Amino acid sequence: MSSGFLKRTEIEGRGRGLVASRPLKAGEIVLRDSPILLYSALPLINQSSVYCSNCFRTLSSSSSSSTSVVPCPSCSHHHVFCSQNCLSAALASSHSPWPCQALSRLRDCAPLLLEQPVEQQVQARFLVAAYHLALYSPSQFQILLSLEGAPDTTTAQFLHSLISSLCPPPSTLPVPFSLELTAALLAKDKHNAFGLMEPCSLHNSGQRAVRAYGIYPNASFFNHDCLPNACRFDYVDTAPDHNTDIIVRMIHDVPQGREICLSYFPVNENYASRQRRLMEDYGFTCHCDRCNVEANWSDRENGDDEDLVQEEEEEEEELMDEDDHDQMESSKGQGDTDFPHAYFFLRYMCDRENCWGTLAPLPPKDDGTASNIMECNVCGNLKDDQMTDASGVEDEHPMDD
Ligand SMILES: C[S@@+](CC[C@H](N)C(=O)[O-])C[C@H]1O[C@@H](n2cnc3c(N)ncnc32)[C@H](O)[C@@H]1O
């Protein structure tokens, strides 16, 4: 991929990545990407459908309980749509006869699958969607196969045998249906899927679930950094069209040639939790600047002293606690180059309770000056950037160069 903003290149120890083709400004939109594949993140059987099965918009509470919701004529309440248009679009693509029947068979004839954690049921949904993509758009299926992710046939065995016995893809599949292919697909999904979150208002606790997952052909090349310089936004419920596109905006200025990275999860997690997650979910050890600093913190501050961690406190421990913040404060005195994240947290982390979203400025104004309005990529909150003056001129800060 090469655009006016980003160039794809090989990066030592990280595979392919995206670097700035020219100096990039805070707030600039560097990528707008449409999914090649979208699938629900809900269990196979869920009583009340909250989202349209085509566009994944939230069904309004009035429409979800009334006749204005349009059900699939074959599987009825299992797949409902926000409009006749969405139903027609789905019947001609993602919810055509084979995926509709395959999901029905998995729901009705695989009691063992329904006993598995939701994660595995969602993987079954992904496989149906991926095999359907092979039938429906072989070229996009090839793009999916070209993404990063090494197959693991052991973990794929259970789902592969279910699909081959209950709902094998039609013989017109352009690639041989095999355990190896199923394993490869699951690996692509694990390393590359982006979650489209449910609306913030559904949960006050800050624990937001994912409503759907998408595979985005260009955004899949962003590598991870625990102090990202860009973040992604989605507007599933508010965008008038292409509502499942994701938009990546710069958090702050970066020079030409700098790698552009996202954080694969909220930036407030502590070192031990981040490293665990990156290894388990993405198969790598992070050596970013923030990790290099935090690797030298004591075990206690990093949250990996098992004697101190009670089972029931685990979730809380995964977030940065007061000790971490004390470490930040003391390290800050050693110079900003040793510890840029105190500045990052202050300026770019949403301060709304339990949000933990990242803030990026709105796109620059027409005359090129930076916007002083910051938008949170989780709760959508807009706030004035205290560190940009009214004319859009920013304070000098350590993350620009
Ligand atoms: C979404 S893909 C990113 C693009 C990928 N590098 C590629 O070549 O297609 C995620 C995978 O990239 C690699 N990766 C991402 N960030 C990394 C980092 N900071 N250090 C090492 N590897 C990284 C890991 O293999 C991870 O599973």
pLDDT of residue 79: 93
List all residues whose CB is within 6 A of at least one atom of ligand 1.
13-17, 147-148, 191-192, 220-221, 223-224, 282-284, 286, 288
pLDDT of residue 206 exceeding 80, the answer is no
Residue nearest atom 10 in ligand 1 by C-alpha distance: 191
Mean pLDDT of all residues in 59-81: 78
Closest CA to 186 of 280, 120, 237: 120
- Give the mean pLDDT of 330-345: 62
d(CA 205, CA 153): 37
Query: What is the average pLDDT score of the chain?
Result: 87
The tokens for 46 are: 């869920």
> Which amino acid is located at 247 in the chain?
I
Give the E-state strand segments of 216-312 in sequence order: 223-224, 230-234, 246-250, 261-262
Left if phi > 0, otherwise alpha if psi is -120 to 50, otherwise beta: which for 191?
A: alpha
Q: How confident is the model at residue 323 (pLDDT cuts 50, 70, 90)?
A: low
Report how far residue 316's alpha carbon sits from residue 308's, in angstroms, rounded to the nearest whole number.
Answer: 13
Residue 354 pLDDT: 86
Beta carbons within 10 angstroms of residue 48's beta carbon:
9
Asked whether the predicted pLDDT for residue 229 surpasses 90, the reply is yes
pLDDT of 9-50, one tens digit each? 999 999 999 999 999 999 999 999 999 999 999 999 876 779
Q: What pLDDT is recorded for position 391?
A: 55
The best mutation among 7, 14, 19, 189 to test binding of ligand 1, ranked by most ligand atoms within 8 Å of the C-beta, falls on 14
Q: What pLDDT score was predicted for residue 21?
A: 97
- In the chain, % of residues over pLDDT 70: 81
pLDDT at 125 over 90: yes
Name the pLDDT band for 303 (thresholds 50, 70, 90).
Answer: low
In 12-169, beta strands by DSSP E = 15-20, 29-33, 37-40, 70-72, 76-81
Alpha carbons 267 and 269: distance in angstroms, whole number = 6
Cα of 196 vs centre of ligand 1, distance in Å, is: 20
Q: Confirm if 218 and 396 have CB atoms less than 8 A apart.
A: no
pLDDT of residue 322: 53
Angstrom distance (rounded) from CA 273 to CA 260: 23
